[in-house]
Amino acid sequence: MTGTPPELKPTRELAEQLGGVLRGARYNTGGLMVALGGEITTSKLKAPVQDRRLGDEHLAQLARLFLLGVPVETETARRALVPADLDELTEAGLLHQEGGTVKGAIRVTPYAGLLLAHDSDSAEHLHSDIVTGVNQAAKTLASLTPREEVSTALDIGTGNGLQALLAAVHVDHVVATDVNVRALGFTELSATLSGLTNIEVRAGSLYEPVQGERFDLVVCNPPYVISPDTRFVYRDGGMRGDDMTKLVLTQMPEHLNEGGLAQMLGNWVHAEHEQWSAPAKRWLEGSGCDVLLLHHASVDPLNYAETWIKAAAATEPKDFPEALDRWTDHFAELGIERVASGAVTLRRRSAATNWAAELEMPRAPVAAAGDHVLRLLDAQDLLRDGGDEVLARQVFAPLAGHRIERVSVYSDEGYGEEASQLIPQGDAGMEVGVDDLALALMRRLDGERTLTEVEAGLASEIGAEPGTLLEAVLAAARSLYERGLMLRISDPGPPDDEPAT
């Protein structure tokens, strides 16, 4: 591990030139996948393989510099970077020249149409203020964030700027904060490389840089890992137990505009026989926000330590047992029995009676799942305010692009249906089994008829009176709706003969 990380000091003009070079050469997910034969990976062992797979074209040289970090002959690199000047880029800390070759001093990862600048994760760059690339947690938060067009957003602990940049596409003005000033340099560089001009960076811890300010959207992927270490700023919040998650969460409501949404990831401690959601619910009581908790998993201290020690990729195998002991001793000292990981959505509705709901999210979300999160909020609002009567008069449509996966097992009696799952396109990582009635209901939703009318149709198909199946249909509909698997079109209101309350 070296003590001195590269200092980034490109002028805006130089960063714009580099952005133009990268975008012009199709340095994006599609272009790089073609150049690399299908797989974009930056792992250390893969880089030499990928290097040999690349040709000599313009994009290949840029990929060597900024994706793989392998050396490129100086004059070749100079030509590939024009109009950006190789020596200026070196001086600005973006390249490293040695002998007759040049290497990228930073990495640039394409993601969702953006270019994200960050440190390399190779051993010599594992300094405490390393700014990491696009990892699974970052992708999870990015997927779950609702993407409504609003005026202001805040990204706490912005790192390479991923969440801030994604927000900048649908929000007028984004404030990105980090305690690590190197992260702010990377965020500014990422924004310029991606051609975005509506991101303001501010240095400081958590909400310090935005005291007294409120936003329409707040996102945060905090350094939530519970650990005895203070080795990496991005990972170890330096607080006791789950205080980092608690602090971020409990201060969020006061930075949200009325109706504003916040999305964060976190880890929190719970007792072995306690419901995983209980601590987070306690923290947010009386917050003026509706709370949606999505649970990924709860694990014991040994599993937790293993996951995070390995994830840092900084522990030699010979040091691993010692690190495990250090971490698990620390957890024992704090009396930690289980650690939950998950996502929390807040929506500020201070005049309302707020609700708190919990759902399981065993898988990582797929693609853009922000709409799924919005449907989960809509369902809680409606189902908590009204009972079956209100549900029965709603109009629903199936989700565009959803799929149904069915598992059938063969026996002497032929194929027996074992399980069916309904999976939306862009889902929040839920595995939702559906039974035959739910499938029958889904097939008949048309975005025009109320559930009462759909049930009447279903009943008549089997020669029964309307209403015969209503209880079962409403139970199936409730289960699909509260998991965000049907789209509510409208609420036609109470029937004419029923006075509105």
Ligand X SMILES: C[S@@+](CC[C@H](N)C(=O)[O-])C[C@H]1O[C@@H](n2cnc3c(N)ncnc32)[C@H](O)[C@@H]1O
> CA torsion sign, 249 to 255 to 257 to 258?
positive
Please give the DSSP secondary-structure letter assigned to residue 236.
Answer: B
Q: Cβ of residue 14: shortest distance to ligand X, in angstroms?
A: 24
Closest CB to ligand X among residues 178, 216:
178
Q: Cβ of residue 253: shortest distance to ligand X, in angstroms?
A: 18
Concatenated DSSP letters of 7-37: PP---HHHHHHHHHHHHHTT-SHHHHHHHTT
What is d(CA 32, CA 67) in angstroms, rounded to the nearest whole number?
9
Closest CB to ligand X among residues 180, 394:
180
Closest CB to ligand X among residues 69, 133:
133
Q: Cβ of residue 221: shortest distance to ligand X, in angstroms?
A: 3
Closest CB to ligand X among residues 5, 424:
5
* Residue showing tokens 């809509």: 378
> CA torsion sign, 182 to 188 to 192 to 194?
positive
Closest CB to ligand X among residues 155, 482:
155
Closest CB to ligand X among residues 209, 484:
209
For residue 21, which of 119, 112, 104 has the smallest C-alpha distance? Answer: 104
Closest CB to ligand X among residues 309, 391:
309
Q: Cβ of residue 203: shortest distance to ligand X, in angstroms?
A: 9
Q: Cβ of residue 175: shortest distance to ligand X, in angstroms?
A: 12
Binding residues (CB under 6 A) for ligand X: these are 138, 141, 156-159, 162-163, 177-180, 183, 205-206, 221-223, 233-234, 237
For residue 158, which of 200, 121, 194 has the smallest C-alpha distance? Answer: 200
Please give the DSSP secondary-structure letter assigned to residue 448.
Answer: S
Please give the DSSP secondary-structure letter assigned to residue 92.
Answer: T
What is d(CA 459, CA 474) in angstroms, rounded to the nearest whole number?
13
Long-range contacts of 468-475 (CB under 8 A, 24+ apart): 469/437, 470/392, 471/388, 472/437, 473/437, 473/441, 474/388, 474/391, 474/392
Q: Cβ of residue 91: shortest distance to ligand X, in angstroms?
A: 25
Q: Cβ of residue 61: shortest distance to ligand X, in angstroms?
A: 28
Q: What's 243-263 look like in SS3?
A: HHHHHHHHHCHHHEEEEEEEE
